[in-house]
Amino acid sequence: LSELEALMERMKRLQEDKEDEEASQEEMATRFENEKKESLLVISGGICTFPVPVSFDDEMVSTDVSRYVEDPGFGYKDFARRGEEHLPTFRAQDYTWENHGFSLVNRLYSDIGHLLDEKFRMVYNLTYNTMATHEDVDTTMLRRALFNYVHCMYGIRYDDYDYGEVNQLLERSLKVYIKTVTCYPERTTKRMYDSYWRQFKHSEKVHVNLLLMEARMQAELLYALRAITRHLT
């Protein structure tokens, strides 16, 4: 099967499995923990720590971004150290954007919550119902996997989501791309962009980038707004 056909087959099989039997809460929690731990190994200093189908040994963009920030050492750091047994988890149902963050940010800055919420929803729901040359395809499952994987990298877990879907739908080269774009955007190369979903249209892959950026922004807001809420109470 081609990459595209294999992906569509996995989506179909996951949908059928979901209709036949749902995973238990314990199983879903275990799958989240496994995915969260693996995400810490995806990239270390811009180097992939496990073999992937495509070589990413081309030179990274040499742009010096330090002149744009006051602290040249400022940058992304994994939310937990590798090797730790019990990694911290942000349970989404305890503090969600819809039920908590949205109202707080509106209190702090009038109407900004509505603008952010509209932006999140627009990007998440954007679809042509296509996958490359296939039309009338429901891409909800794939979009949710992309969004939730970013949140998983930040330690955020949704109890109603089966993270086994992430492992089935997002191949390793795509996970490398996701973490690079989300955490080290200055290291992203065209070769990495070209390496995944080769049969997909550019507009579809650009939508992936939009999803990743909005998911990252929402994750950062959730942590910041939860801290503010705790301070106020």
Residue 186: the pLDDT is 82
Whose structure tokens read 């296939």?
A: 134
Say whether pLDDT at 122 is over 60: yes
**pTM, whole model, 2 decimals?**
0.85
8 A C-beta contact, residue 141 and residue 161: no
Say whether pLDDT at 192 is over 70: yes
| Contacts (Cβ under 8 Å, ≥6 apart) of 186 | 60, 61, 63, 65
Say whether pLDDT at 44 is over 70: no
Band (pLDDT 50/70/90 cuts) for residue 17 is confident
Q: How do residues 49-80 score in pLDDT, each as one tens digit?
A: 333 333 333 344 445 666 666 776 667 777 66
Say whether pLDDT at 41 is over 90: no
Average confidence (pLDDT) over 74-94: 77
Cα–Cα distance between 161 and 182 in angstroms, integer?
Answer: 21
Q: Record the tokens describing residue 129, joined without a space.
A: 């119902």
Residue 69: the pLDDT is 67
Average pLDDT, the chain: 85
Q: How do residues 140-177 score in pLDDT, each as one tens digit?
A: 999 999 999 999 999 999 999 999 999 999 998 899 99
Say whether pLDDT at 188 is over 70: yes
Residue 37: the pLDDT is 86
Which pairs count as long-range contacts for 28-33, CB under 8 Å and 24+ apart, including other chains? Answer: 28/159, 28/161, 28/162, 28/163, 28/164, 29/157, 29/159, 31/162, 31/163, 31/164, 31/167, 32/89, 32/152, 32/157, 32/163, 33/87
Residue 72: the pLDDT is 63
Band (pLDDT 50/70/90 cuts) for residue 47 is very low
